[in-house]
Every structure is written in structure tokens, then in C-alpha cells.
Structure 1
Amino acid sequence: MRILTSIIAVTFTSIATESVNAQHYHKAEQNPYSLVYEGAISENVIGKVNIHPVTYTLNGIDIVANVYTPANYTASKQYPAVVVAHPNGGVKEQTAGLYAQRLAEAGFITLVADASYQGGSGGKPRHTDKPQFRTEDIHGMADFMTTYPGVDQNRLGILGICAGGGYTLKAVQSDKRFKAVATLSMFNSGEVRRNGFQNSQLNSIQERLQQATAARTQERVEGKISYVGVASITDEEIAKTSTDLYREGYEYYYRTHAHPNSTFLYTMSSLMDLMTWDATDGIELINQPLLMIAGSKADTKYMTDEAFSKVSNAENKELFLIDGATHIQTYWKAEYVEQAVNKLVKFYQSKFKS
């Protein structure tokens, strides 16, 4: 596995996919909206769910996003709405788009946007991954949706997937425009960047903070950007990866649901912010209804359990486990997606009753 620790520039190239079963491989170039999930919209048809690529500006950065409108959408009517925050390294065309489309099929106007500095959105250095930017992205999605034709501001919800779930838990502490909050396979980026996955790097915290500090100095003094993460990976390396999260994650992002805007890289200097941040800090400020969904076999489930136990002031809270599912399987596997979507629809509908 090639781990990048100091790079001035990165050239992204396609990764071989010959060994992947074709029926599970979705190519971005085969869809006019570059969507890579199964059952993705390929054209807008009158009377059905439609997709609308949009761009808006947030703090001087151009954000690219997709709005999904329900069947027979009419701007003069009022609809419940949900914004979807994508995983680390993910983009709007992958699992976040899948859930946005499925929720639109259930009657919601939905929005999924690429994070600032990531995907198709603007911002430099590229692949900056700082928590304050990701939470601000969520506030920006609320800004956009509260002015979108047909959105009922009193029925706005949010779904955060993986790291998007962790950032969601932080954003909704202060943003009360979100009336109902849900997470799927929540990933606490601060905890993992600080302690390592499953607390595997507790002995190197100070060393990694020193590396992040040096990387920031390098950015300022030399204009060079250091990256950390996986630039590419072979099938053999994937097979040898011991944790479900990363093995299945590499398969998802680099093989079966690869997208040219998606990457496992992030700037090393981002660790200065990530390692001092935690999704559960201030979690007692959440007073909205909260639903947290995780796979029963997910090796990330401990993060959902930790966060859920700390929620003390939510109007009500519920933990829903998808039996047999791993973290990444909740992104794409039809039977697990179906269970999650059905639960989400019932949750939002019950909380949006006037």
C-alpha cells in the first residue's frame, strides 16, 4: 500500500478494475451526472424523481451540489427536505447521492454537496479536511435549502454518513434549522485521527502532531503541500487489509464505486485541527430528535455507541442496528440500504408532523 507523506503535487490516475465483477462496478463516465451507485438517475423524466446540478458560493468558495426533487414536484407546493453529508473521501455521486435519491423517491427534496476543498467544489489546498470547514459546509447546505423553491423550512432534516455523521453531530448542536437529525455508520474523524482506528495509534499522538505542525510550516515557507493517505492500492494489498472498514472501503472507493473526484488523501496539516477535535464535544447541545443507524457487524460501531451514550438532551433518541451489515455495506448493499431508507423515512415523517 502506498502511503503518501510528503508530496508537492499528485496526479490521479484510473485504477485497474479487470478483477472486479462487472455487475458490481459502476463507472462515472457511463452516467450523464457521473453517478456511480446502482439505480442512479440517468435522465430527468416528467412525473418522476429528477436531479438538478446546482452551484452556490460559501465563504467565497464555489460549492457543487445536486438537488433531487420528488415525483411530480411543483415549486409552488411545500415539501419536507433533507440534506445529506458525505463520508470522508466521498463525493456526492456515491453513497450520499444514493440516499438522497432514495429519500426523494419517498417525497423529500434532498441536497447533497461536495465538501469545500474536496470533490468538484472549490478551495485550495485541495483535499484540505478540517472539521470547521466540514461543519460550515453543513450550515451552507441549510442556507441553500431554506431558500430552495418548495422547501418547507419547518420540515428540514439532515442525514450524515460516516464522517459526515460526525460533522453532523457537531453542526446541529448550534444549527436549529435542522428539525430532525440522523446518522448512518457514524465516524468520529477527530477521535480516529488522534487515537488511530480502534485506538491503535495512542503511542504516536505527539509524533503525528509534530509532523502536522511541520507540514503547516512547509506550506507557509516553501509553498509545498504534504499529503497523508492512500493514493492507490493493488488487489493484493486490499486482500491483505485486516479491518473490514478499510478493506471494503478500498474496494468501494477504488474499485466498485470509484469516482475521479473521490480520494483517500488529505493534507497532513489538517491533522492539527482534526486531532484536537471530537464529534462528541458539546453533544449535550443537541436537543432535536436523533436517530443513529449502524451495521451490527460494523467495526466502526463503537463510535456510534460512544456518541449515542453521550446524547443527554435530545427530544428523543434511537439507535437502530442493521443486522449483519458492516460499515461499507450500508453504503451500497441493497438489502441494507432498503432497511436504512425505510427507517429514515419513518423517522423524518414522524418528526415532521405539524
Structure 2
Amino acid sequence: MKKIIIAFLMPIFFINMSNAQTTQKQNQNPFTLVYDGAITENVKGKVNIHPVNYKIKEISIVANVYTPANYDPSKKYPALVIAHPNGGVKEQVAGLFAQRLAEQGFITITADAAYQGGSGGTPRYVDKPANRIEDIFSMADFISQFNGVNTARLGLLGICGGGGYSLKAAQADKRFKAVATLSMFNSGLVRRNGFMNSQLSTIQERLKKASEARALQQVSGGEVLYANNSTAPLNDEQIAKLPFDLYREGYIYYGKTHAHPNSSGNYTLSSLMDLMTFDANTNMDLISQPLLMIAGSKSDTKYMTDEAFPNAINSKDKELFLINGATHIETYWKPEYVSQEVNKLNEFFKQYLK
């Protein structure tokens, strides 16, 4: 029984923390951005942020577009679609990289996933891989029509869970001329096998619970079950006892230092039916575009990048780039690591989005 609880709870360590501990950064920023160095106002001649919205079928999507300094809509710019981590929102790490890469001359877009963050969709926190991949396709649709975008120079960056979904999106969508991942997290692999394959013995039992949750949900007026309904925050001692750097540092990042009220790692229990049958590492041979995969050398999620990278056998130009000394969460915010990552991404995208 203990293993089942860990399987459901541990991957969503920042549940409901952000509502209770909204950061001072978010309160002070007019765009509710919570990363260091975030834009506080649009100034002529500098990088600007443009909140936009569009629809995926009937679902309203909220996104931010960042334009480079001295942006001229009559000119043509390379553009980047940026997919956020599981449970994250556009105001956190995805926004940081969208802004920093806009500083390098790219038009960038990052959106809250459907059913999550500030975007619409009910029930809340449905977390299905097909939806996340469609989110990426739809960002490409929107940004391709934005003034100044050169659609022949479109790239894709996925962070954490967004990285796994970006690998899948790039397999099918050849509008993306180059694809990069940062701290790639293979959501299906972890939901199925547990982190570091720690839950192999409970796969069938967890699938049964997910199936029962769907059955309940489909009944008229049926209850929607979630993977975790706990609202009690952990204290420092409890955080220190969490297994793995990813969970300890992730709890602090999402729950304290970079909390945002729209960010929640919760998901409907029935979503596991889709998540547990998904694997970002399948069909990697369909990626023909140049590929850059970045991971921290000390990241306990690095094994997911290591497994996927060699399978991209038809990407003629591919590189695995390690950030020496970085853990998974540190690649999101630590200035010396972020600078290395931005420099590498800028070099990569400018080379292959000519």
C-alpha cells in the first residue's frame, strides 16, 4: 500500500503549495512572472511581453509572446515554441527561457497547457499526453501567424515534462526545423514504472485504480478523483526527508521560491490510463531535425535523456550537452547554469534556423 501512495504522491510534490505561499515576486510583477529578472513593463526598444489568447477547439488558451528588442513587425524573425514542465505555468521557468531567448533575437511563445494553469478546460488538471502534444502544435499554429515570424525558421524547446512531449511533437510536426530539450522528463515512463523504476510491482494495481476512477467519472454527476487532494504543506524537516533531489528541490521551487497560484501538479486519476501507456522514447527514429538535449550532470532525471538520445538515429545533427554540477531543478533557475543553457540554445537555434 505504501508503494501505491508514493506512486501517486511523489511526482506531484508541489500540490496546492502555490496558493498558500504565493511569492512576493508574483505579487509585485504586473504580468505575475515569478522568475528573476522578469519583465515588469514593456519599454520601447527592449524585449516586450504580449499576453495573448486563442482556442484549441472550445478551450481557451492563455499564452505569452515575447518579442526581441527593437522588434519591427515588418521584418522577419526566427521563432521558438517553449513547452512548460508538468504542473508548471508560463510564468515560471518556461517564461524565463522565453524572455532570455527573445533577448537573443527570437520571437518566443509559451502557453499554459489546456486544462491547466490559466487556460480553460474541465475537469481541471486533466493531464493527457495527447493534449500536451496538441498544445505544442497549437502554439506553432498561433505563432506562425504572428507578425514578423518567419515560419521557415521555427524551433521547439521543451522543459522537463514539456521536453518529453516536445520529442513526440517533433516526430510528427516538421514545421519545427530544430528541437531542444532541457532536463527532459519522460512522464509516461515515470507514471508507469515509478521514478527510477521504483514502482514496477504496482503497475497493474494502479491501472485498475485509474480505470475505476474513469468509470466513476463517466457516471452522470460522477465524482472526479485526483491523484492527491492533500492541502497540508510540508515543513522543512519533512521536505528534507523526501527521496531524490528532484522532489526535495522541486517542492521548494514550486512551493516557495517560484510559486504561482496557477501552478499545480495535481492531475485526474483517470489520466493515468493515458499517461501509463505513453512513452516519449518510442519512435525517436522519426526525429529527422537537428536535436539538442541538455541535462544537469547531477540530475537524477538524467537517465531519461540518456535513454532517449541514442534512439534519435535519423537526426544527423544531434548533441547531448551536460551542465556540470547541476541538478534537475537547478537548471530552471540557477544563474550560472541558466546562462550556459541560454548560450548553448542560442548557438544551436541560430545554427539550424538559418
TM score, norm. by length of structure 2: 0.93
Task: Give the CA deviation at 1:315.
Answer: 2.8
Contact 2:78 2:153 in 1 (8 A): yes
- Aligned-partner Cα distance in 2 for 1:275–1:331: 26
Q: Deviations over 1:41-82 (max 9, x none)?
A: 000000000000000011221100000000000100000110
Partner in structure 1 of residue 193 of structure 2? 195
Q: Among residues 103, 113, 124, which one is paired with 1:105 in the alignment? A: 103
What residue is the counterpart of 1:228 in the other structure?
227
Counterpart contact for 1:15–1:232, Cα < 8 Å? no
> Aligned with 2:266: secondary structure?
strand
What CA deviation, in whole Å up to 9, does each residue of 1:14-58 have, x standing for no partner? 3358xxxxxxx6531210000000000000000000000000011
Give the 3-state SS of the residue equivalent to 1:266 in structure 2: coil
Letter matched to residue 37 of structure 1: Y
1:29 aligns to what? 27
Paired with 1:233 and 1:337, the residues of 2 have a C-alpha distance of 28
Identity among equivalent positions (%) equals 65
SS in 2 for 1:172: helix
> Which amino acid in the other structure matches residue 272 of structure 1?
M
| Structure 1 moving runs of 4+ over 2 Å | 2-5, 10-17, 229-233
Q: Identify unmatched segments of 5+ residues in structure 1.
A: 18-24
Measure, in 2, the Cα distance between the counterparts of 1:11 and 1:31.
21
Output the CA distance in 2 between the equivalents of 1:98 and 1:58.
24
Q: CA distance change for structure 1 residues 102 and 283 in 2, over 3 Å: closer, same or farther?
A: same
Q: CA deviation at 1:219?
A: 0.6
Letter in 1 for 2:19: S
The 1:26–1:199 alpha-carbon spacing in structure 2 relative to 1, beyond 3 Å, is farther
The question of whether the paired residues in 1 share the 8 Å contact of 2:17 and 2:254 is answered with: no
CA distance in 2, matches of 1:318, 1:99: 19
Aligned to 2:52, which of 40, 51, 54?
54
Q: What is the Cα deviation at residue 223 of structure 1?
A: 2.0
1:75 match: 73
Change (3 A) 1:57 1:233: same
Q: Is the CA contact 1:231–1:265 (under 8 Å) kept in the aligned structure 2?
A: no
Q: Which residue of 2 aligns with 1:146?
A: 144
Residues 66-215 of structure 1: matches in 2 within 5 Å?
66-215=64-213
How far 1:249 moved relative to its partner?
A: 0.4
The AA in structure 1 aligned to 2:131 is F
CA contact (8 A) 2:80 2:107 kept: yes
Supply the distance in 1 between the matched residues of 2:27 and 2:99 (Cα, whole angstroms).
19
Contact 2:17–2:233 (Cα < 8 Å) also in 1: no
Matched position secondary structure for 1:124: coil
What corresponds to 1:339 in structure 2?
340
Q: What is the rounded CA distance, in whole Å, between the counterparts of 2:69 and 2:16 in structure 1? A: 40
Give the aligned residue type for 1:233.
Answer: P
Whether 2:299 is the aligned partner of 1:294: answer no
Partner in structure 1 of residue 262 of structure 2:
261
> TM-score normalised to the size of structure 1?
0.93
- Alignment check: 8 A CA contact 2:74 2:148 kept: yes
- Is 1:14 the counterpart of 2:19? The answer is yes
* 1:232 positional shift: 4.4
Give the C-alpha shift of residue 110 in structure 1: 0.2
Q: Any unmatched runs of 5+ in structure 2? A: 10-14
RMSD over aligned CA atoms reads 1.7
> Relative to structure 2, which stretch is displaced further, 232-241 or 253-262?
232-241
CA contact (8 A) 1:293 1:319 kept: yes
Secondary structure of the corresponding residue to residue 171 of structure 2: coil
Structure 1 177/216 Cα, relative in aligned 2: closer, same or farther at 3 Å? same
